[in-house]
Amino acid sequence: MSRRHQGASTVEFALVLILFLTFLLGITDFARMLFTWNAASEATRAGARYAVVCDDTASQALVLAKMRSLLPQITTIDVAWAPAGCNSATCEGVTVTITGLNYQWISPIAGAAALAPIAMPTFSTFLPREIMRQDPNSAAICS
């Protein structure tokens, strides 16, 4: 093989490698987005369970802290007890909602198309007070 053909093969390899790595990063980034989606869904479930079992009707901060242990990017949540204004003896359930969660792409293709973070949908979970037959005054997961 002549020296000229070796240079052409090197250039072809470099071009194919760039395309391959871009494609691989795109797949990895899409997998990260699906992981974030699943983690947000699980965080709402865990936050609702924490609120129901621990009867924390006064503070969203403890519920948010529990949810951030699963997904640190969570910034805004809403904890709504049903019926509104109930106390630990009269509440029937809780709805925990994540809003304002954004996903930032890292792959070059998606990053070039839209550098701004992509807004994810609202995640929400309702759990009745007697979920998993736990005593409402139990401290099993409240610490």
CA gap 111, 101 in Å, rounded: 18
CA gap 61, 34 in Å, rounded: 26
Question: Average pLDDT for residues 3-21, to the nearest whole number?
Answer: 84
Instruction: Using the predicted structure, report yes or no on whether residue 4 has a pLDDT greater than 90.
Output: no
Instruction: Using the predicted structure, report yes or no on whether residue 52 has a pLDDT greater than 60.
Output: yes
Instruction: Using the predicted structure, report yes or no on whether residue 114 has a pLDDT greater than 60.
Output: no
What are the helix (H) ranges across 55-103?
A: 60-68
Question: Average pLDDT for residues 87-93, to the nearest whole number?
Answer: 78
pLDDT tens digits, 54-82? 765 557 888 898 899 999 999 899 999 88
Contact 49, 70 (CB under 8 A): no
Instruction: Using the predicted structure, report yes or no on whether residue 134 has a pLDDT greater than 60.
Output: no
Query: Residues near 102 by Cβ (< 8 Å), separated by ≥ 6?
Result: 73, 117, 118, 119, 120
Contact 53, 63 (CB under 8 A): no
